[in-house]
């Protein structure tokens, strides 16, 4: 099985490369500077040359706040880039793995009681910011396509040993602050990059298609997550619990973005408890930094 990884310079792309190296599997890794998925001609030329069995599309526009002003750029990558990838995979008979986000859901506070186990894959989507809208547009490209050999995997609160993420930001801030303000009215559960890759491979090997959620088990707030990060890493930094109104951002954030993994469980996959995932990540970071 030969893999082509796009967006290989990002945190999920780097995790895929790490995994494939560990498993001694054949792959070609292309960063966004190597392979711009919005360049249709280049996408087709690359697939024709590489001849992958599986294309893992980790390329995405992910700057949530910037997307509010850079609407065209966000849709160019997150919608039009997906069109190019799907069309090329269809032509060259490769399976497409594409990643999306919890931000496609409305995340209104009432959904916390409506979906106590998290949003199922079939829940109505209604993104509240441009980033979410652009990612949903990419999802719809796949859903409406006559190309069917795809896996659309939604993740939330993505974090891992590579790139920038909430866990690494909290650890960095703890080095210079006695207290960090973190919102306590946004709820979800983290997706750990290593778990996402392992579960993605689980689905690939089972030749699954369609939409799946890969996320941690257990509902928490960002403030809860920060407190666990400091506690487990032995940091003395305190968490000041604040509301979203006290931490204004250009793009609206969902108050509830917990993803149900029931569909994945029905395939006999073990779901990672978020606190165990955090233990693993902190161990990985400690090893990588030594």
What's the rounded Cα separation, in Å, for the pair 119 and 133? Answer: 17
Could you write out the DSSP letters of every residue in 171-186? HHHHTT-SEEEEESS-
Mean pLDDT confidence for 63-81:
97
Q: Given the DSSP bridges, would you call strands 150-155 and 95-101 parallel, antiparallel or unpaired?
A: parallel
Catalytic residue, candidates 19, 119, 131, 258? 131
Report pLDDT for 176.
85
Mean pLDDT across the chain: 96
Q: What is 2-165+190-217+259-274's CATH topology?
A: Rossmann fold (3.40.50)
Alpha-helical (H) ranges within the chain are 11-22, 40-50, 71-75, 81-92, 111-114, 130-144, 166-174, 193-205, 222-232, 262-265, 274-288
Comparing CA positions, the residue from 109, 132, 127 lying closest to residue 243 is 109
Report pLDDT for 289.
56
| Model pLDDT for residues 268-283, shown as the tens digit of each residue | 999 999 999 999 999 9
| Model pLDDT for residues 230-272, shown as the tens digit of each residue | 999 999 999 999 999 998 899 999 999 999 999 999 999 999 9
On whether the CB atoms of residues 135 and 82 are closer than 8 A, the answer is no
| Model pLDDT for residues 126-163, shown as the tens digit of each residue | 999 999 999 999 999 999 999 999 999 999 999 999 99
- In degrees and rounded to multiples of 5, residue 51 shows phi and psi of 55, 55
Report pLDDT for 140.
97
258 is catalytic: no
Residue 179: CB atoms within 10 A of its CB come to 11
pLDDT at 290 over 60: no
């Amino acid at each position: 099985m030969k893999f082509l990884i796009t967006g290989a310079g990002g945190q999920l792309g780097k995790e895929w490369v790490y995994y494939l190296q560990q498993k001694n599997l054949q792959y070609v890794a292309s960063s966004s500077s190597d392979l711009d998925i919005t360049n249709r001609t280049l996408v087709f030329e690359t697939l024709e040359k590489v001849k992958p069995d599986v294309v893992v599309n980790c390329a995405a526009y992910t700057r949530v706040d910037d997307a509010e002003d850079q609407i065209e750029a966000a849709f160019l990558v997150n919608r039009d880039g997906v069109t190019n990838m799907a069309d090329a995979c269809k032509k060259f008979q490769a399976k497409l793995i594409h990643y999306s986000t919890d931000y496609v859901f409305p995340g209104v506070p009432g959904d916390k009681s409506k979906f106590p186990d998290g949003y199922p894959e079939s829940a109505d989507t209604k993104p509240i910011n441009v980033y979410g809208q652009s990612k949903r547009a990419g999802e719809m490209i796949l859903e409406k396509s006559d190309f069917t050999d795809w896996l659309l995997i939604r993740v939330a609160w993505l974090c891992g040993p590579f790139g920038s993420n909430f866990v690494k930001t909290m650890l960095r801030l703890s080095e210079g602050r006695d207290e960090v303000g973190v919102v306590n009215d946004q709820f979800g559960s983290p997706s750990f990059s290593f778990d996402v890759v392992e579960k993605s491979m689980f689905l690939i090997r089972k030749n699954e298609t369609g939409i799946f959620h890969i996320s941690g088990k257990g509902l928490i707030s960002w403030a809860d997550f920060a407190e666990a990060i400091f506690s487990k890493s032995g940091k003395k930094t305190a968490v000041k619990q604040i509301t979203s109104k006290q931490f204004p951002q250009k793009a609206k954030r969902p108050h509830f973005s917990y993803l149900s993994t029931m569909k994945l469980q029905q395939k006999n996959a073990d779901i990672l408890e978020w606190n165990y995932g955090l233990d693993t990540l902190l161990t990985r970071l400690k090893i990588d930094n030594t």
